[in-house]
Chains A and B, each alone.
Chain A
Amino acid sequence: MRVKYFYTIRKILWHILWIITLTNVAQAQQNTGSGRLDILRDTAEKGFQKADIVKPFNFPIDHGPHPGYRHEWWYATGNLDGPSGRRFGYQLTFFRLALAPEKNTAENRQRSHWKTPLAFAAHFAVTDVQNNDFHFSHRYSRGDGRLAGAKGTPVRVWLEDWSFEQSEGDWKIKVHDGDINLNLDLKPTKPPIFNGQEGLSRKSSAPGNATYYYSLPRLESRGTLEIKGQPYKVEGLTWLDREWGTSALANDQQGWDWYALHLSDGSDLMFYNLRKMDGSKHEFSAGTWVAPDGKTTAISAEDITIDVTDYWQSPLGGRYPSGWQLSWPEQKIELTIKPVIDDQELDTLPRYWEGAVDVSGNRSGNRLTGRGYVEMTGYTQ
């Protein structure tokens, strides 16, 4: 039930932070606790729908946008293999945020096409292991349905020339970012998993303080990645998260470490290590185990221990963990997690680390490998 509680908080916090980015506030990190959060507090919720009851999901419609709710995102991370042993990681994220409730106004000749309360943000990153290179960029736009927007049937989410599309069960990613182009076809191999209570992820005991939340844990990904004019045929696995809601947030944690791992036996593991202000593990830290057949098992805070085995000093300031030892005694799982390259930090606001990792270890004595993505926030000052 509380599984994705803090995951949600993480995403919402980002919203606030990129909003602050828009206002050119450099000291965003220091100010997140100040009155600027009011944007996402009570008054701003008026006029929006709330995630307050368990509802059946309806695909493919729910892959598309949910206009009554204030915020929503499409979040993909994946590991890709290229020719002759080339190895890549990528992240593509779209945020949709309604700055005010969208009004259903009739087409009016006197109405500007720019008029919309919708804002979109997108983050894109590519890790090039062989060249020890990490590229990232971020964009913002109003969601006027031309420059950026999200549509259902067929599902399409885009910000300028970056897009997610979905049709007949498959997804497409298209990103043109300077001299980096990514074109991928994503084919889900497992059905969506519903987080929290059948997809209703509650934030507190207050009704409506929740989001709707599902994931596509394992998508086979194929396509081309072009770097500086050099195209590579790539294939690999992607994790896609979808979430929408209107809820407010609390902010009493220092940050989090998030792990989403595709393992060689066909299972997937996702876990949050939420850090309290003193750095210790928060009791709401949690995760999900997805069996090869798609069955899910909830993981609670006390089920798993994760020890940091190495650190990486960011040239921009702050020290991130850079190697972990994960153990889940109940399932007899022991995993060693290492970043494919150290520097996979996005110098956005806020600054955070999100990068491809390698996994090796064993389950009940059988060798287990895998790849995944780790995200770390709250390590910068």
Chain B
Amino acid sequence: MRTVFKALSSYLLRHPAQLGLAIIGMAVGIAVIVAVDIANDSARRSFDTSLAAVTGATTHQIIGGPTGLDEQVYIDMRLNGVRSIAPIVEGFVRVEGETFQLLGIDMFAEGSFRNYQGGGSNGDSITESGSNILELITQPGGVLMADRSARRLKLEAGSTFNVNIAGGDHKAVIVSIIGDQESNRGLDRVLIADIAVAQEWLGLIGKLSRIDVKLEADGTGPFMVADIEAKLPLDARLVNATGRNNSILEMSTGFNTSLMAMSLFALLVGVFLIYNCMSFMVLQRRPIIGVLRALGVTRGQLISALIIEGILLAAIGSLLGVLLGVFLGEQLVGLVSRTINDHYFVVRATEVTLSNFSIFKGVAAGLAATLVAVSVPAIEAVSYPPRLTLARSVVEERAHNLLLWLAVTATLLIMLAWMTLVFSTVNLVSGFFALFLVIVSAALLAPLFVKIVIPVLSILMGFIAGLPGRIAVRGIMRSLSRTGVAIAALTIAVAEIVGMGVMVGSFRENVEDWLINSLHSDIYIAAPGRSGVTTRGIDHTLINKLTQVPGVSHYSASRRVWIETESGPTRLQAIKMAPESYGGFDFLDGNPDDIWPSFDSGEGVLISDPYAYRHNLNIGDILPLPTARGEQNFTVLGIYRDYNSDQGVVSINRRAYIEHWQDEVISSLGIYLEPGADDGVVIDALSRTADPHQALLIGSNKQLRELSLRVFDRTFVITNVLYWLAMIVAFVGVLAAALALSLERGKEIAILRALGMTRMQVSKLIVIQCGSMGLLAGLLALPVGMISGWLLIHVINRRAFGWQIDMIVPVDTLLSALAIALLTALLASIYPAWKATKSTPVSTLREE
């Protein structure tokens, strides 16, 4: 066996570039999987741990309407003997550019709810120094901060700092640092303050964000769900804390799944690369294998030797891949967190958590791909009698025979994809499965496509580059077993670019159109707050002053709130319409002439398309919503296009909103100008009016549109990163194939040189060959990319986010994809071309 290994490995050692490329390709493929896993996992886990730390032993929560819960509800419950409840006032604040969660607690009620200390159940003091937690009550602006946060911000116990809330600054002082025990991990970027401080800072005097409740799971405690529910006012509800946390976490599932799926495509490209490299290395050693077989080495011995070798390589590749993946993951965490922050919930920590499972997934994928890549050619190589094994032509002959079977398989896969979509109409994973099948079948069809297109291409190339051109192109055909795989890998990568490009391009164009259609006001004024949700809103007296500013004609007003429904938080938008506002709704269903009179009279609600999709609602359906007077039923009047939130939005007439929710707050204004008024001048005047009273965000229509698109683009940064990573893998694949070809063609090239071809002509031949491969991959990638773009838009996006997007074919995306394919291939040809010119025909031929 040792002799076998020695014989096999001597080849590898003589061709380190081949070996290196195989390992690099494997490593990058695995790295992408590991990285995306780490990024997804870290973002969600950090949210999870902070949620757990903040939720503590809470089993249920009492939540109120959009403006919070009247604190009297809590007082009354306590005075009526309800125990195991704790009031919470919370909000998001900025500290030195970082977002912190401000958690206002009543330490007297905290008891067993949250555990701010380390150690066992008895615990140590809240802090290592044991300093005085009572100062939370006595010290104005006193807060507790986790050690981790304090170190990052270079603060210590006793330090004072500014807390920025909705544009206003408040002075805080750290009365104590929370120790850095494991149980406190989730408290990074949490400020704990006395409930009074939190109320005053957040402008929530008299209000609670929620009441935490601890009930015995088995119902043995002094209070039960029913007891508590009986004591609640109409606008308050008791919800299960775990369920509520899960539904928050659930919001980003579509996004996380999509990322994971995209990382799988990178791995798919990687698998082709691994297959290409590994099978090439087996093919290259057919002569040695033939000799070894002739010398009496058994098939089993050879196969196991090749597989062991493959596993060794895979191990090295996996190790590198995991290391690279961790590094990449650290870079991606920020991007993933930012997107989740922009669209779903606040992820505070960006700490990278590396789970063994992430590593396992990456390594398992790498090993599996390697095993397949090695065993197929290995079994094939040893399956011939020793003499035949030596002949290269046998392989190609077989490869050509295989074309038909590949095409049949591809057709079957496409049918399977189609069936998947027909039979599973909402599941996101099955959507990705279908997309995956389409891509794989495209890869399987690549060799057939090459066979069909080559004759045309060879005539074309002959025209352009003469004999070397024709030889080059025909060469692709003759080494189809190798070039086919390289072209398939490149096709997948480029198709992904095309598909994503079509999807993102269409999406962006749709959003842009929608922004133009729906943003009618000339100037927008908003009270600062996350996602436009603010507790305080714009002061009513200030609204009067603002609307009196010269140049202002009239205005629309809206209030955005979150309300808690059975199925999780729902975004509700109350609008006071201006005459122009009506045109801003693009109804996907329903007749505007019927909808508007009902909406204006407060008879029902409008829902955005994603909301309708997620909750399976149609026009005329009843949507129950919790109001200040208990749960009320609302009729769905219309479904409109909206790209604000993939969770969807419910819109209601402002008068009806006030009536049902008793909340008169206005969080944003849309100002319409007098004809001829200059928006810059009016914005200045508005700012001057607002500044002495309240910090407000004031911007023009154009600014808001640009801001919206910026957030949109930011969302797809990570997508871009991912498909460029796939591209890198594809590049390595083409490079490896080009290198392999030139190596294999060493003799052929030597003969050509001996026959009188110049070095330049030989290089040209190699460059043309690679370029043609790129062109072929690019051409095939266009239709495949369009199909996957269609799937991404109508299946994936719809299922993951509920978006309805009109597909637009961006010609520039298609052209640039073609160019990328070509350039990648040409770039990959440089090294082999340069290498070919170095060899001398005599020495190469003498090797025979």
Check B200 against A23 for contact (C-beta < 8 Å). no
Binds A, one of B127-135, B271-279, B409-417: B127-135
Whether, in the assembled complex, A228 has its beta carbon less than 8 Å from a beta carbon of chain B, the answer is: no
Closest to A34 in B: B130
Tell whether A117 pairs with B137 under 8 Å between CB atoms, given A24-B123, A141-B108: yes
Cβ 8 A contact of A24, one of B71, B79, B109, B126: B126
Cβ 8 A contact of B138, one of A26, A100, A140: A100
Binds A, one of B191-199, B355-363, B652-660, B682-690: B191-199
The docked-state distance in angstroms from the alpha carbon of A22 to that of B107 is 8
Residues of chain A within 8 A (CB-CB) of B222 are: 178
Interface 1/0s, chain A 64-89, versus B by CB < 8 A? Answer: 00000000000000000000000000
In the complex, chain B residues 108-161 whose Cβ is within 8 Å of any chain A Cβ: 108-109, 117, 122-126, 130, 132-134, 137-138
Residues of chain A within 8 A (CB-CB) of B107 are: 22
Whether, in the assembled complex, B106 has its beta carbon less than 8 Å from a beta carbon of chain A, the answer is: yes
Check B125 against A147 for contact (C-beta < 8 Å). no
Closest to A117 in B: B138
Check A25 against B78 for contact (C-beta < 8 Å). no
Most buried by B among A26, A109, A111: A26
Whether, in the assembled complex, B675 has its beta carbon less than 8 Å from a beta carbon of chain A, the answer is: no
Interface 1/0s, chain A 103-120, versus B by CB < 8 A? Answer: 000000111111111010
In the complex, chain A residues 112-164 whose Cβ is within 8 Å of any chain B Cβ: 112-117, 119, 140-142, 146-147, 160-161
Check A110 against B78 for contact (C-beta < 8 Å). no
Residues of chain A within 8 A (CB-CB) of B550 are: none
Whether, in the assembled complex, B579 has its beta carbon less than 8 Å from a beta carbon of chain A, the answer is: no
Whether, in the assembled complex, B401 has its beta carbon less than 8 Å from a beta carbon of chain A, the answer is: no
Whether, in the assembled complex, A176 has its beta carbon less than 8 Å from a beta carbon of chain B, the answer is: yes
B103 to chain A, nearest CB (A): 14
Whether, in the assembled complex, A263 has its beta carbon less than 8 Å from a beta carbon of chain B, the answer is: no
Whether, in the assembled complex, B81 has its beta carbon less than 8 Å from a beta carbon of chain A, the answer is: yes
Residues of chain A within 8 A (CB-CB) of B78 are: 141, 147, 160-161
Check B194 against A161 for contact (C-beta < 8 Å). no
Whether, in the assembled complex, B680 has its beta carbon less than 8 Å from a beta carbon of chain A, the answer is: no
Check A39 against B130 for contact (C-beta < 8 Å). no
Residues of chain A within 8 A (CB-CB) of B138 are: 99-100, 117
Whether, in the assembled complex, B578 has its beta carbon less than 8 Å from a beta carbon of chain A, the answer is: no
A167 to chain B, nearest CB (A): 20
Check A112 against B196 for contact (C-beta < 8 Å). yes
Check B134 against A26 for contact (C-beta < 8 Å). no
The docked-state distance in angstroms from the alpha carbon of A18 to that of B184 is 24
The docked-state distance in angstroms from the alpha carbon of A91 to that of B206 is 35
Cβ 8 A contact of B81, one of A109, A115, A147, A176: A176
Whether, in the assembled complex, A359 has its beta carbon less than 8 Å from a beta carbon of chain B, the answer is: no
Whether, in the assembled complex, A374 has its beta carbon less than 8 Å from a beta carbon of chain B, the answer is: no
The docked-state distance in angstroms from the alpha carbon of A116 to that of B137 is 7
Most buried by B among A22, A27, A119, A141: A22
The docked-state distance in angstroms from the alpha carbon of A36 to that of B125 is 11
Whether, in the assembled complex, B75 has its beta carbon less than 8 Å from a beta carbon of chain A, the answer is: yes
B474 to chain A, nearest CB (A): 82
Whether, in the assembled complex, A248 has its beta carbon less than 8 Å from a beta carbon of chain B, the answer is: no
In the complex, chain B residues 92-112 whose Cβ is within 8 Å of any chain A Cβ: 106-109
Check A142 against B80 for contact (C-beta < 8 Å). no
Tell whether A112 pairs with B195 under 8 Å between CB atoms, given A142-B108, A142-B137, A147-B78: yes
Check B199 against A114 for contact (C-beta < 8 Å). yes
Residues of chain B within 8 A (CB-CB) of A19 are: 134
Check B79 against A161 for contact (C-beta < 8 Å). yes
Closest to B119 in A: A26
The docked-state distance in angstroms from the alpha carbon of A113 to that of B194 is 12
Whether, in the assembled complex, B19 has its beta carbon less than 8 Å from a beta carbon of chain A, the answer is: no
Residues of chain B within 8 A (CB-CB) of A22 are: 107-108, 133-134
Check A110 against B200 for contact (C-beta < 8 Å). yes
Residues of chain B within 8 A (CB-CB) of A161 are: 78-81
Tell whether A39 pairs with B134 under 8 Å between CB atoms, given A24-B123, A112-B196, A112-B200: yes
Check B106 against A113 for contact (C-beta < 8 Å). no
Cβ 8 A contact of B117, one of A24, A111, A115, A146: A24
Residues of chain B within 8 A (CB-CB) of A99 are: 134, 137-138
Closest to B72 in A: A146
Closest to A148 in B: B108
Residues of chain A within 8 A (CB-CB) of B122 are: 26-27
The docked-state distance in angstroms from the alpha carbon of A160 to that of B194 is 20
The docked-state distance in angstroms from the alpha carbon of A272 to that of B122 is 33
Closest to B201 in A: A112
Residues of chain B within 8 A (CB-CB) of A35 are: 130
The docked-state distance in angstroms from the alpha carbon of A116 to that of B196 is 9
The docked-state distance in angstroms from the alpha carbon of A39 to that of B125 is 15
B165 to chain A, nearest CB (A): 14
Tell whether A39 pairs with B205 under 8 Å between CB atoms, given A26-B122, A99-B138, A112-B196: no
Closest to B107 in A: A22
The docked-state distance in angstroms from the alpha carbon of A99 to that of B132 is 11
In the complex, chain A residues 210-264 whose Cβ is within 8 Å of any chain B Cβ: none
Residues of chain A within 8 A (CB-CB) of B106 are: 114, 142
Check B79 against A147 for contact (C-beta < 8 Å). yes
Closest to B200 in A: A112
Tell whether A25 pairs with B205 under 8 Å between CB atoms, given A142-B106, A176-B81: no
B72 to chain A, nearest CB (A): 8
Residues of chain A within 8 A (CB-CB) of B195 are: 112, 114
The docked-state distance in angstroms from the alpha carbon of A36 to that of B133 is 11
Check B196 against A23 for contact (C-beta < 8 Å). no
Residues of chain A within 8 A (CB-CB) of B126 are: 23-24
Tell whether A110 pairs with B134 under 8 Å between CB atoms, given A24-B117, A141-B108, A147-B75: no
Interface 1/0s, chain A 25-38, versus B by CB < 8 A? Answer: 11100000001100
Residues of chain B within 8 A (CB-CB) of A117 are: 137-138
The docked-state distance in angstroms from the alpha carbon of A26 to that of B109 is 18
Residues of chain B within 8 A (CB-CB) of A114 are: 71, 106, 194-196, 199
The docked-state distance in angstroms from the alpha carbon of A141 to that of B80 is 15
Closest to A97 in B: B134
In the complex, chain B residues 14-52 whose Cβ is within 8 Å of any chain A Cβ: none
Residues of chain B within 8 A (CB-CB) of A25 are: 123-125, 130
Closest to B136 in A: A99
A312 to chain B, nearest CB (A): 25
Residues of chain A within 8 A (CB-CB) of B79 are: 146-147, 160-161
The docked-state distance in angstroms from the alpha carbon of A35 to that of B130 is 9
The docked-state distance in angstroms from the alpha carbon of A367 to that of B370 is 101
Check A113 against B81 for contact (C-beta < 8 Å). no
The docked-state distance in angstroms from the alpha carbon of A36 to that of B44 is 40
Residues of chain A within 8 A (CB-CB) of B71 are: 113-114
Cβ 8 A contact of B125, one of A23, A112, A140: A23
Check B199 against A112 for contact (C-beta < 8 Å). yes
The docked-state distance in angstroms from the alpha carbon of A23 to that of B81 is 24
Residues of chain A within 8 A (CB-CB) of B117 are: 24
Cβ 8 A contact of A39, one of B124, B132, B197: B132
The docked-state distance in angstroms from the alpha carbon of A27 to that of B125 is 9
The docked-state distance in angstroms from the alpha carbon of A110 to that of B124 is 36
Residues of chain A within 8 A (CB-CB) of B200 are: 110-112, 115
A175 to chain B, nearest CB (A): 10
The docked-state distance in angstroms from the alpha carbon of A110 to that of B196 is 10
Closest to B74 in A: A147
Check A110 against B137 for contact (C-beta < 8 Å). no
Check A113 against B123 for contact (C-beta < 8 Å). no
Check B199 against A36 for contact (C-beta < 8 Å). no
The docked-state distance in angstroms from the alpha carbon of A99 to that of B206 is 23
Cβ 8 A contact of B133, one of A23, A26, A27, A100: A23
Residues of chain A within 8 A (CB-CB) of B137 are: 99-100, 116-117, 119, 142
Residues of A within 8 A of B (CB): 19, 22-27, 35-36, 39, 99-100, 109-117, 119, 140-142, 146-147, 160-161, 176, 178
The 4 tightest CB contacts between A and B, nearest first, are A26-B122, A112-B196, A115-B196, A114-B196
* CB-defined A-B contacts under 8 Å, sample of 6: A24-B126, A25-B125, A36-B130, A100-B138, A147-B78, A161-B78
7 further A-B pairs in the complex, CB-CB below 8 A; given A23-B134, A109-B205: A22-B108, A39-B132, A100-B138, A117-B138, A140-B108, A161-B79, A161-B81
